[in-house]
Each structure stands twice: as C-alpha cells, then as structure tokens.
Chains A and B, each alone.
Chain A
Amino acid sequence: MKLNVEDKEDRLFVQIGGQLLYSEADQFKEEVLPKIGQHSTVTVDCENLEFIDSAGTGAIVRLWKECRMVGAELELIRVLPEVQKLLHMTRLHQLAKVTGIDEAA
C-alpha cells in the first residue's frame, strides 16, 4: 500500500495506492487518523487503490467516524470500479461521498 497524506488548508488530502487489506488496514489508520484536525473535508484519492477488503472498508469506516467527530466531510474520489463496487456493497457510499474515476468530482 502506498500512502501519501497532505494537509491542504481545511482539506486533508490522502492519496492511497495498491491494496487496502487486512494487512494494511492498521497502517492506514495509524498514518491517516492522527492527521485529521480542523479540516472541513477529508479527501481520499483512490485513483491508485486497486483493491480493498472488509478490513479496508473497516478502516474507511473508522476514518469516517474520526471525520464526523471533527465535523469534517469524508469524500472518496476517483474510485476504481472494483473498489467502488465493494464500497457500494458495504454501503459506505452512504457515509462518505464516493466518486468514481470517470465521474466529475
């Protein structure tokens, strides 16, 4: 998993690549969650996120919870279809704004 977290004014911009699996979920949480501060939006760019499993979805739910605590909105952008499919299956699109790679942000 490749992870890059950037603080852009009131937006926390997270770039994730590779796979977000059980084996990477803890790392994801450890590296992203502490960086959430006074942001109004947390954006996860999933352009390079190839795969996600239930543990990965769990990590995203955790991220959503953290955002909610600080009043920030969570958005997942440029999500690849396979990942988007799982996000919909697990209804994460009801928690966060999910935009596909082919959709306008």
Chain B
Amino acid sequence: MSTNESKIIPFEFDSLRDVDSCLAEVKKLQNQLEEERRATEKKELIMTKSLQESKQMSTHLQQITQALAKERKAALEKSEKERLLWKLIERINSSFDLEHILQSTVDELGHYFKVNRCGIIIPNYKTSRDLVREFAVGEWKRSQEVYSNVSLSVLYTTVTKSLKPLIINDTITHELTAGHLNEDLRSILMVPLLQYNDELVGVVYLHQCRKQRTWSEHELSLLQAAAGPIATAVEKTKLFNKAKSWAAREKLLNKLTSRIRGTLNINVILERTVAELGQALQVSRCFINIIDSRTSREKISNEYSMTNIKPLGIGIENPLIINKITEKNADYISIIDIFKEPRLIKLNDKEIEQLYKTGARAFLAVPVTFQRKLFGWLCFHQCNVPRNWTSEEIAFIQSVASQVGVAINQAEMVEKLTEYQTKLSRELKQAAHLQSVLLSTGADVNKNLSIAVSYYPHHNVSGDFYWLCELAPHMVGILIGDVSGKGPAAALLTGYIIGEIKGLLENQETSWNPEVFLTALSNSIYEQNQYSDFYATAWYGIFDIVKGKVICSNAGHPCPYLVQKDSSAVRKIPDEPGVPIGLLSTKDFSGGFVRKEFYLNPGDRMIIFTDGLTEQRQLDGSFIPEVWLREALLKLKNYKLNEIPEALIKILNIVSKGAPADDDRLIVAVEMPENKKITLTENDHDIIKEKIKFIIDDTVNNGMPRALEASLKLGLLEALYNAFRHGLPKTPKDKNPNIQLCWWIRENIFSCSIIDSGAGFNWQKTLKNKSKIKDVDITSEGGRGIPLLLEIFNKVSWNPEGNELGLTLKW
C-alpha cells in the first residue's frame, strides 16, 4: 500500500566535521530511511490485510443482516398467521352457532386476504342441502342462490376428492377453468377443511376478480392454517348441535312420556303423541294406525298434519303399504323417496295410486308394540320433498313408540281394571243391598221389644252384622257380631253367618239357648275356617218381655251397657266374653260359652254395639278412652230410644275430633217395655170371656178391623181353654197355677203370649200329626183347637217346653 505522506529525518549539520563523518552521517541516514521503508512496507502489509478482513467482515455483516431480515420477516409472518389464527379461534369459540361461525370466518378471512370473495361450503350429505356462507365486496357480491351452487362446481369436486388445495393463479390459463367461467373471476384459492383424520368437513375458498393474483406460499399456508380451526369449529358446532338435538329429543321424549303417562285415556295419549311428534320432527303428517284386535283391521285413530297439508282423516281404513312392503320382524319401514322406492313393485296400481294421492314423498312407519303385541304403527309422511330419515330420528321415534306401546297397554289394563272395578263396585253395591236386605229381613220382625238400630258400614259392605228374631211375641233374640276384617271378604262371611243364623234360629234347641247357639255357630264357622282364617265376635241375647229377663252369651264381643231407668248409673254388663266364634273348635276350649241371666225393669235400656264404637282412634292415632261411651249414655238418658244410636255417633265424631271412622259401627239400643198383662188363676168362663172381650176391644181400638173380631175371639178362646184344660193341671206343686196373658198391638199386628204355669206339652208331636185343620178327622169330636189356632193366626209358636204360646195376627 503506497502513501504520499512524507517524513522529515532530522540532520545535524554541526556534526559534519569531515567527509567521513558526512558519509557516516549519510549512511546513517540511509539506514534510517531503509528502516523507515521497511516499517512502511510492513504497515502497508498490515493495512492490506486489515482491509481484506474488513471486506470480509462487511460481507459477513451483510449476510447476517440479510439473515436477520429474513428471520424478522418470517417471525412477522408467523405472528401475523398466529394473530389471524387467534382472532379466528377467538371468534369461532365465542359461538356454537354454525352459521354465525361461518359468516364471521369468511368475513375475517376476506378482509385479511383482501380478496373480492371468501366463502365456506359445509356439505350436508343427508339432506343434500349444503351450508354455504360467502363474504364479498362491492360488485362481487352474489345472491345466496348463486353461491349455494358453488358446491356443484368442478373445482369444489376436485378439492373434495383430492383433499388438497387448489391454486388457480389465473383462471384464463388454468386447465380447469379456461373457457368455463362466465364472470370475471381471475384467481381462485380453495383449501379443504379437514379434521385430524383427514375427514372432509368442507371447503374454504378465496376469489380474486378481474385482476389476476398470484397466490403466495404464505397465503396458501395461512389459509391452510386457518382451515384447521375452522374444521374443528364446524365439527364442534355439529357435535354441539347433535348433543343439543339429542338433549331436545330427550327432553321431548321425557315430555311426551310424562304427558303420555299423565293420562290413562288411550285417545288422549295418541292425540298428544301425534301432535308432539309431528311438530318436533316437522313432518307433513304424523298419524297412528291402530289395529283393531277383534277385526285385525287398521284404522287411523289420531292424526296431526301441518296447516298446509290435507289430513288423511280419522277413522279411515288405511292399510297403507306397511303389510305389503315390510320385511318380517322389521323394526321400522322407511322410504326416502316414494318415486324411487323399489319395494313399491309389491303394490298394485290402485294401491300406488292411493299412496300417491296422499301426497307423501317420504314415509316412515314404526311399530307400536308391547311385549310382542302389535298395537299399530306410528306413521310419518313428508309431502312434496324426499326426506332421508336419520338413524337418530328413527331411534327417537322408536323410543316414543315404545312408550306409547307401554301406555296403550297400561291404558288397556286400566280400562279393563276400571271395567272390572265398575263391575265389582256394582256387585259390591248389590252385595251391600243384599246384605242390607238380609239384615233387614232379620230386623223386620214384630218387635214388641223397643229396638233402635244404627248401622254404619265402613265400606260398601260390612263385616258387622246383627239379627233380630222374634222367637215368640214376648221373646226376642238379638244377635250382634263383627267379622274380622272389613270389606267384601268379611261381608261374604257375614252372609254365610247370616245363613247359618237362620238355620240355627229355626231350631229351638239353639235359638232359645244363647250359649248353645254360639257354640253351634262357632263350630260351623270353624269348619269353614279350614279354608280361611276368619273369625267373628258375637253377642246373643234373648229378651223375655213378660218377665223382663235377659239371657245372653258372649263370644269375644264388647260387653253391652245397661242404662237403668231408676238409677243414674250406667254400667257394663259383666257377661264374661268367651272366645270369638270360629277361632277354635268348642272341643278345644273348656267351659264353652257362658250363659248369663239378668233382669231389666220396664224402661231400662241396653246398648249393644260392635267395637267400631269403642275402638275409634283420635287424629293423633291414639284410641279414645271408652269412658266417653259411659258419659255419653248418661247424657242421653232422657233421649228417646230411637234417637240414641244416632246421637252416640254424633258424640263419637265430636270426641274423635273428626277423625275418620276406623271400622264399621253398629249400635243396637233396646228398651224393656211396659206390658199389657192379665193373669188368670181359675177356669172361670165368664172372666175368660170378659178378659177376651177387653183384649178384643183394645185391639179394635188400635185399628183391627171388626171383621177379624170373631177370628181373634175364637183364637184366644181356643188358646186359653187349651191352657186351662192342658196346661194348668200340670202345674208343679211348688207353683201357683196361673195363666199370664200379655198382648201388644204394633203397626197392624196383634200379638200375645199365653204363659201357663204347667210343665208344657209336646207341641212338636201334636203339630206333626195335625198341623192343619183339614188334616183333622172330620168325624173326630176333638183335636181342632190347635189346627184352628194355626188357621186363624199368622204365627203360632211355643217355647221349647210348650208352656208359653205366642200368637200373632196381622191385618
């Protein structure tokens, strides 16, 4: 490296004293110059080297700068991409509305890429209605009808088949578009939207119009990068919509199920089903073809149709095409498009015509079954357009059909049950009536004893029973009982017991002896109890009105109460309740039923009842102490007898504070009456005639027609003469011979009892031989007395001994 700079070498002239010294000095200078030159050369060399290094460094720096710029650009592009993607993702994530997502995406991309158009196509293979959203600017905006057809284009097909981007920088020269495009579309970039498994979700495209545009790698990569989140978002919304749809259907199914189960009326069930399903599935028609189980014919039972669709009509026989085109054991029949349905060849022209007339284009039928029983078909019509019935829809309808099947079966069962219940209720009413008749038959006797009864069955039919029996005009038997349990079974046993009672009452050996009566009844029920476990409590008492005597026996029944006329006390009659009847064989319990006797004065009252009166619970569940009854009877002492039972029930309702009755309630109140009585001690004909006249006058005064006067006179004469002729002579020595005659006139009935002090006679044998006057030998001078009695009176009865005669005459 050369330099023009000069250097001054110092020279001292004082030292030039000679030549040598001059030469030495010159030489010295030369050496110095040489050193200087060498140093310069060295410097130059270093400089040159340094320059070279600088050059190299500069080149390197330039390279670094370039690399840095490239990196910066890449980073910038990356951040742009990321920014775009984030922005897209942010928008996409803000919504589950697919259309909204697509619109915001195309808007974003369109703006970003500064293109004339940006669009997304989401194909719908099931409905063939693709979802297309497009962004466009200015004059390049197109109507939806136009851009909806994009999916039909070759370009779209190319992308969806290849699943690769389609880059057309210039449509004029590109092989796919050259000469095919009408509009001024110059550049197209189309990228498939793929899921992670390369499954096609849709396509996104960019259009540049009029001016050609070369799509850069960056733009392609950016669009491809955007395609990922878009595809995910579309799938996400699809899944969301699917879940939403499932949820809605589940909700609808629940709603339908609850509505279906909300009624047991088949018609209401079917009506609701077709309406709800029709609306939910947006079908043209939804109807139910019900199969008549008797005729096996199908009829439309219920129908829903859209407002613009003509209904097929309720009740119309609609065999449809089900039976002809259905496969065996088909779960459903679906036809997407009737015009393209191959199975229709199985139908004849008329049937096809009928089918076409319905206007249905698509058809779906799902069987309504329950436990393999086919009730009918749930049918759907889509009119005018085909419809691809989705598996979700079919599964949903099948769920509904299954519910409907259950509901129909349930409703049918309920219908049968209701019918049965109605029948049962009717029969129970009849049974109640019958029971009432049975009981009232027992109650409809000439009761010379004052009796008042209140009977409150807990159900239609009751397990409580009572029976009043006039053993003789002055002897009234009262049976009251309570069969274990309530309702029909108890009532049936009651009926059985009443039947048994009738038989036992006809037999004087039992009817006149309470303990024997209960024993016989118990044994009879016990025999029946081999087939059941019923039992009954019972109380049977015989009231002798003439003597005021009561003989009774108790089989586990509540003891009656006694209210004495001349006493302020109310007491329980200690009648030693025994074992309930039917529970044990009388052979199995020692002692049997105890016979008790006591006397009542005229005006004394007895209250006989079932445990429904004393075992009543209060609202808190505790039993009302029985003391209430004693207090109530005291309070009601001055009430008329026939007011007592009702008044007792009223008091009980007050005491129980309105608690519902726990059991049947039966109350029988009895009052010992005052009697019309005469006593005859000797066979004085005039006195007899006089007394008879007195009785007859009394009877006539009490309403007996005069026409019966002679008959009554003859009857009383015969009876009294018999008593005098056959009764008195057999009077035991320790007794005073006498005849007591008591009579009662009640409700057009005269009755009397003639009781003699004799030992009685075998009236059974007498009656066996000649119970009717026509049986008496016409030439016989005697033996007409008893047949005449039987001829004159409506009822003639003796006590078992034959010394108490009862006569009854009705008019």
List residues of A whose CB falls within 8 A of some B CB.
21-23, 51, 53-55, 57-59, 61-62, 64-65, 82, 85-86, 89-92, 94-95
* A61-B780 in contact (CB<8A): yes
Given the contacts A22-B721, A58-B782, A91 and B714 also touching, CB distance less than 8 Å: no
CA distance in complex: A64, B714 (Å): 22
* A51-B782 in contact (CB<8A): no
Which of A54, A59, A82, A91 is within 8 Å of B788, CB to CB?
A54
CA distance in complex: A55, B780 (Å): 11
* B717-A82 in contact (CB<8A): no
CA distance in complex: A40, B773 (Å): 30
* B773-A90 in contact (CB<8A): yes
Chain A residues with CB under 8 Å of B779's CB are: 61, 64-65, 95
Which of B717, B773, B781, B791 is within 8 Å of A58, CB to CB?
B781
CA distance in complex: A6, B713 (Å): 31
* A61-B781 in contact (CB<8A): yes
Chain A residues with CB under 8 Å of B725's CB are: 22
* A62-B713 in contact (CB<8A): no
* A95-B714 in contact (CB<8A): no
* B785-A54 in contact (CB<8A): yes
Question: Smallest CB–CB gap between B50 and chain A, Å?
Answer: 179
Given the contacts A51-B710, A55-B721, A86-B714, A91 and B774 also touching, CB distance less than 8 Å: yes
The answer to whether B129 has its CB under 8 Å from any CB of chain A is no
Which of B685, B781, B791 is within 8 Å of A89, CB to CB?
B791
The answer to whether B718 has its CB under 8 Å from any CB of chain A is yes
Chain A residues with CB under 8 Å of B784's CB are: 54, 57-58, 90
Question: Smallest CB–CB gap between A38 and chain B, Å?
Answer: 23
* A23-B685 in contact (CB<8A): yes
Rank and list the top 4 A-B pairs by shortest CB-CB distance, nearest first: A54-B784, A23-B685, A58-B781, A82-B710
Question: Smallest CB–CB gap between A5 and chain B, Å?
Answer: 20
Chain A residues with CB under 8 Å of B780's CB are: 58, 61
CA distance in complex: A102, B782 (Å): 29
Question: Smallest CB–CB gap between B709 and chain A, Å?
Answer: 9
Number of B positions contacting A (CB below 8 A): 20
Chain B residues with CB under 8 Å of A85's CB are: 710
Chain A residues with CB under 8 Å of B718's CB are: 53-54
The answer to whether B776 has its CB under 8 Å from any CB of chain A is yes
CA distance in complex: A1, B478 (Å): 47
If over half of B's interface residues share one DSSP class (helix, strand or loop), that class is named, otherwise mixed; here it is helix
List residues of B whose CB falls within 8 A of some A CB.
685, 710, 713-714, 717-718, 721, 725, 773-774, 776, 778-782, 784-785, 788, 791
* Nearest chain B residue, comparing its CB with the CB of A50: B710
Chain B residues with CB under 8 Å of A89's CB are: 773, 788, 791
Chain A residues with CB under 8 Å of B710's CB are: 51, 82, 85
* Nearest chain A residue, comparing its CB with the CB of B792: A89
Chain A residues with CB under 8 Å of B781's CB are: 58-59, 61-62, 65
Chain B residues with CB under 8 Å of A61's CB are: 778-781
* A95-B778 in contact (CB<8A): yes
Chain B residues with CB under 8 Å of A23's CB are: 685
Given the contacts A58-B781, A58-B782, A90 and B717 also touching, CB distance less than 8 Å: no
CA distance in complex: A21, B710 (Å): 13
Chain B residues with CB under 8 Å of A94's CB are: 778
Chain B residues with CB under 8 Å of A55's CB are: 721
CA distance in complex: A95, B785 (Å): 19
Which of B717, B773, B774, B778 is within 8 Å of A21, CB to CB?
B717
Question: Smallest CB–CB gap between B729 and chain A, Å?
Answer: 15
Chain B residues with CB under 8 Å of A86's CB are: 714
Most chain-B Cβ atoms within 10 A of its Cβ — which of A53, A54, A57, A89? A54
* Nearest chain A residue, comparing its CB with the CB of B785: A54
CA distance in complex: A5, B788 (Å): 29
* B721-A53 in contact (CB<8A): yes
CA distance in complex: A59, B718 (Å): 15
CA distance in complex: A85, B725 (Å): 25
CA distance in complex: A23, B682 (Å): 13
* Nearest chain A residue, comparing its CB with the CB of B721: A22
Question: Smallest CB–CB gap between B366 and chain A, Å?
Answer: 88
Chain B residues with CB under 8 Å of A82's CB are: 710
Question: Smallest CB–CB gap between B725 and chain A, Å?
Answer: 8
CA distance in complex: A61, B781 (Å): 6
Question: Smallest CB–CB gap between B410 and chain A, Å?
Answer: 73
Chain A residues with CB under 8 Å of B717's CB are: 21-22, 53
Given the contacts A22-B717, A23-B685, A53-B717, A91 and B778 also touching, CB distance less than 8 Å: yes
Chain A residues with CB under 8 Å of B782's CB are: 54, 58
Chain A residues with CB under 8 Å of B773's CB are: 89-91
Chain B residues with CB under 8 Å of A92's CB are: 778
CA distance in complex: A40, B718 (Å): 34
* Nearest chain B residue, comparing its CB with the CB of A92: B778
